[in-house]
Structure 1
């Protein structure tokens, strides 16, 4: 089953969202019309941006427009699930635009699969990560006062075709999370691989490891 990985490198959120949406709509059209299509998984980084999902609360953004300008960031309302999150340089963003029917996956199982891929990548660096009840994403020190999030997940799905995806903190400037209540949480921290390991991590290396894990997990589901 053909799965294409595309690296957009650094790309503005608005441009990436527009291109994602085009690919998403094209895949849905092809699926409904019985035409051929490709499943694509996109990697990229974004300039500083905050995105607020459909169920998000405005007051989880703690800065006004002038303050956002001062830190060279923007705020965009988008069509994924979830609340507010941050994207910026040093964070690996992954956008799978795939037909879940090909992999016999429901939406919950798909989110679980994305989480598992990140958990495995963290383990490959000696970082133990896991899941938090009633919350998507990947967390460290679950069940302790030091719970902190290393990867946010928010997806949109229509006709079992997906877009949006995950944001994995690698060498992220974590100060940018202090300007929001990430994903609506006010009592939990955020972290990155760099923070946990005490050194900068090669983004190209993490991309390769995440690609391999997603490939393995989806291959195991393909029928």
Structure 2
């Protein structure tokens, strides 16, 4: 068991800009040891985000079309290319302090993938990886995108993570958002959702609750005492 607990917050629907500002605030607090490591779970209002790879040509909609469809657009500081966030998708933002000693940033990405692969296995789904891409795949279809930032700590030797993963839960995600972009710049493969694969009607918040033990197992928070819920809006 880790000596520090992991705070879990389910925030329901939140605009992207508000969540981004919240992440930056919590990163500063975790850096100063004023807050424990945290995992934010939420859904976003319809949004496209463009990461540091910066390929705006992978956005297929004009500003007028974005406005008509009510989709926001942000250029942000995570790695990767363009992706979609919206209702029906579980977004997770782990805000964790990683000590510089023995740090393996690539392993952190693989661990995020592993937590999602563990969740898929609950449904009898074999999730996997493609060596050339980050994220979680089922066959040749991508079910979860991952893009992160490692924020250099100011008061300690190490980093505090931000951004994270987006898991497609409901069928509507593809039609509502992914058809307006070339997701992550990948043209040859499709995206898929958990509902597509299971044939079930699923609740995003319940999927969020089900991923927590997998996240805890992968990152070492294996006891009930180490994982606790927290409110960020009180």
The TM-score normalised by the length of structure 1 is 0.90
Give the match's secondary structure for 2:220.
helix
Deviations 1:8-38 (A, max 9, x none): 110000000001111112222x1xxxx4531
- What is the aligned partner in structure 2 of residue 4 from structure 1? 7
Is the alpha carbon distance of 1:102 and 1:96 closer, same or farther for their aligned partners in structure 2, counting shifts above 3 Å?
Answer: farther
Q: Within 5 A, what are the aligned runs for 1:1-223?
A: 1-28=4-31, 30=32, 35-101=33-99, 105-141=103-139, 147-159=140-152, 160-171=159-170, 172-175=172-175, 176-219=177-220
Deviations 1:114-146 (A, max 9, x none): 0000011011111111001121000011xxxxx
Deviations 1:44-65 (A, max 9, x none): 1001000000112010000011
Shift of 1:220: 6.9
Q: Which has the higher helix share?
A: 1
Moved over 4 A (4+): 102-105
- RMSD value over aligned CA atoms? 1.7
Higher relative contact order (CA 8 A, sep 6+): 2
Paired with 2:101 and 2:37, the residues of 1 have a C-alpha distance of 11
**Structure 2 unaligned blocks of 5 or more:** 153-158, 223-234
The TM-score normalised by the length of structure 2 is 0.86
**Structure 1 unaligned blocks of 5 or more:** 142-146
Shift of 1:103: 9.9
Paired with 1:56 and 1:137, the residues of 2 have a C-alpha distance of 18
Paired with 1:37 and 1:103, the residues of 2 have a C-alpha distance of 21
